[in-house]
Amino acid sequence: MKIDKRLLIAFVILIAGSVIYKVVPYETRAAFLGAPVLAASFFSGAVVKEKKYAFLMPLLILFFGDLIMQIMHWSNPTYLPGFYSGQVTNYALIISLVTIGFFTNSRKYTSVLIGAGLTATLFFLMSNFMVWAQGYGLHTGKTLNTLYLTYLDGLPFYKNDLIGTVLFSLLFFTVYNVVFANKKSTELA
């Protein structure tokens, strides 16, 4: 099992940066709420050669971000809690997005743009469906009309996540391609 130290350092920086972005209060950061986590999920699926390890990066980002948020919540209850009901579903949704990266050519920006757009779109569709199915939305009852209204309520978040996921994906893949441009193969595990 060969681990490229440059790739490992890049992943640690990416995880740390995404965790920091996740715990910064919403009011003080850009509107791209979950974009670094979505982009990191997609990115890890595309660049980690040993696919079973590709799921580790988004899991670490989610867990450490939520742990820090929970500690902040304990010290000041006005902060959102890090751990909440329905969290396992959210983790599963985000981790499932890693598979989009499996079908992405990390050196072709058309492929990256399509994959980033698909990542944000699938997350929007799946997460809003789960909000509706679990009865967490603004609208009561499980009808096609309330499902439609739940998706309608999520559109502003979708726009921001789509823009943010594309921007963060371009950043991650550009840095990756610049750092590893002269290497024939990059491996993590």
Q: What is the pLDDT along the chain (189 residues), one digit of tens a residue?
A: 566 777 777 778 778 877 777 766 655 555 556 678 899 999 999 988 888 888 998 898 888 888 888 898 898 877 778 888 878 888 999 999 999 999 999 889 999 999 999 999 999 999 999 989 888 778 778 899 999 999 999 998 898 889 989 998 998 899 888 877 655 444 444
Alpha-carbon gap, residue 152 to 22, rounded angstroms? 25
Q: Are the CB atoms for 1 and 52 separated by under 8 Å? A: no
Calculate ∠ Cα 180-42-126, nearest 5°.
175
> Which pTM value belongs to this model?
0.82
Burial of 119 (0-12, 13-18, 19+ CB in 10 A): buried
Q: How far apart are the first and last CA of the chain?
A: 5
